[in-house]
Structure 1
Amino acid sequence: MDVIMNALQWFIGLGSTVFLPIIIFVIGLIFGVKPSKSFISGITVGIGSIGLGLVIDLLSGSLGSAIQLMGQNYGTSLSIMDIGCGVGGPLAFSTTTGILLIPISLLVNFAFIALGLTRTLNVDIWNFWFPAFLGLVVQSVTGSFITGVFGTVVAVMLQWLLADLFADKISTFFGYPGIAITHMMALSGVVFAIPMNWIFDHIPGLKNVDADAESLTKRFGIFGDTVVMGLIIGIIVGILAGYDAAGVLGLGMSTAAVMKIMPKMVAMFMEGIMPIAEGAKDFANKHMHGKSVNVGMDAALTVGHSTVMSCALLMVPISLALSLVLPGVKILPFGDLAFFAFVICLMIPFFNGNVVRSILGCTLYMITMLYLSTWLAPVVTSVFKLASFNVGTTGLVSFVTAGLWPVVLFTLAAQHLGVVGLALIAVAVVAIMFYVNKVRAPKQAEA
């Protein structure tokens, strides 16, 4: 057992830019893709992943430093430190619960695909960290390691269900056939966006506003261009951070560069993954009686969309302002500000790319996250202590993106019902999976 655990830790330690190409290569071979084509796909995905990482580092490095100064200037009275979701992966994979989830999830995933309960083959191993985090929340609340491991399994099942439910809309909007996004942090927002969009449809005036990125460009000319919007937002953040003229203009150019380069890196990533997605489709037609199989990937594939990037950048000042004016909020967005694109990206298709609706919906969503991350701070702090993870402070810590409904659901279930509560969630998830993939899908295919 120790040998297996050490091997898995070593594999994860290679980093996603190394282990993801290996996984893509192996999955390609399983799906009958030629070895040479699988190899090139893996390498291309790795290059795209490195490119995405470089762009995100540019964003978090340049914009992140300015945001930290903004936080120091405007939010020193808030008591809970936003440690950021960036530590989620290292936290999860430094624990036995997180490492065990990798083989368990892959085995159960293949079994569920074979049974026709899910259409999603999740190869986004790095983002197993969020289900692992939910398992650690359960373990922290119940004090039981076994219950925590069970919680991780229930969490990945919920992840596949959400991916199945929303795959068609998301893949159509972003133009990624055969791809499902399995990043639960991103999927969670869809559950909020769908009812909010329905409400917006019934608000006079608002329901008639058409403001996608293309229409904004036509209406506002150069100022509607996403690159120019990035430049303007970067300049505004630089001014609020107290930078001098050179710093302000430099930050503006860095932000504009991210808006321009990010879509190109995503395109390279997709260049590598598409042969695998096609192979999965062919494999399903030949060996699984025509069942469709979507390759589960990271939400990073979607953050290069112009509306996603524009809304994510605008959410930075909005979230800071909200944290300062909302009564009862104790957390200042800090470590998570550079990751907002991953939280809101999948909400955008369900607002039909409408910028106005997206900003309104994401602002309301941010309010819920600020309050929930404040409420969850004692639980999040206990998780870090459980994992013996040094957070550099003796006070309460949390992260804004921990304030999502799955974290609340698992926390309340574990607190009040223990393993029974998790079992009830599992039964509900499997029942909905059965309906979605065994009852509804065949009827839609016949129609």
Structure 2
Amino acid sequence: MNVSAHIEAVYADVCRRNAGEREFHQAVGEVLHTLAPALERHPEYLDTRIAERMCEPERQVIFRVPWVDDQGGVRVNRGFRVEFSSALGPYKGGLRFHPSVDLGIVKFLGFEQIFKNALTGLAIGGGKGGSDFDPKGRSDGEVMRFCQSFMTELHRHLGEHTDVPAGDIGVGGREIGYLFGQYKRITNRFEAGVLTGKGVAWGGSHARTEATGYGAVYFAAEMLATRGQDFEGRRAVVSGSGNVAVYAIEKVRALGGSVVACSDSGGYVVDEAGIDLELLKEIKEVRRARLSAYAEAKPSARYSERGSVFDVPCDVALPCATQNELDGQDAGTLVKNGVLAVAEGANMPCTPEAIEVFREADVLFGPGKAANAGGVATSALEMQQNASRELWTFERTEARLAQVMRDVHTHCRATAAAYGGTPDDYVLGANVTGFLRVAEAMTAQGVV
């Protein structure tokens, strides 16, 4: 069987059967088009149609979420949970509450999660979920009523050995608390391992809040080290100003670098003195205000609604906001300004055109399924603590996180070199490593 022709046929079939789901097509294409070396070396995976099976979710759930706003009006949203792969463990992946959420978005995220989770080396499968509900501007009471309605339907599909959601965009500690409370109320069980990202006082893990941002910076540091460099004295820009961005900024600063710009959906702020993390947290986490408030409070800062945060010269770029936020033009600007490394803190934030620009310019590029694996890895560590009724210290948990990210980096480089690429081809390394781990398990478990 011609491997390239087989891959193109699989991709064409995925696009045909999932019409209109552009982000899902993009995620599948990005993986499939790197798998030829693996499939040539393992023809048994062609015979058993592993790639086709991996592209088809094991289960897709779509449901109505009715809730009542503060004025007594009835609202209706749509909920999703796509349980993609349980070959390595229970489905694991976050819930996203954002107006852009639809089935295609959830499937792209769930597909990415298969490989990301496999890369951690921990026993977790891939899944994702969410709703087109927008928590911005909603009162705590409205968010609570929505979460309770959402969990009333979703609970029947969850369990610590079945499917374990966490947070994502729009789902933080507040939302996880409301979701967990409703699950507990309906099931009459304190099943701590059914959700991760919980408060430390009731089954959560130290360092889970920080894990995705910290992990992306650890991965970037490992990439820089391969060229004899580090973060000391380096300028960085971070897109976004949510959880991942905030803790990426914190870890860059801890490693001796300076983050001079970050963004939100309205624009971006530049602070040559270095982003004031405490002020940023107050504005985004306490006041839930727009980033423009940062510039109003800080004389050294300027805010812009024009252009891109990636227009700001930097040594390291950390896109931590959302999918396809960094395009080919942005990548060209970063390269012209001398960027050394780009690590994706968000899921698929760089377009294929941007990745090609980085590749041609020999810029170190860490794809999200590798670079932002720290969040789900620490979720798995939270599950481990829940199973043993333990609470590890922050230091112990962060040390485990750092080791996981080092291991992910090492495996990506080794696999890339072993399958015909250069060690710096982290896209090839991440995709093939994740694919082989899942394919081995799927083969052992039969055609299921």
TM-score, structure 2 normalization: 0.28
The structure with more strand, counted as a fraction of residues: 2
Which one scores higher on RCO, CA 8 angstroms, separation ≥ 6? 1
The structure with more helix, counted as a fraction of residues: 1
TM-score, structure 1 normalization: 0.29
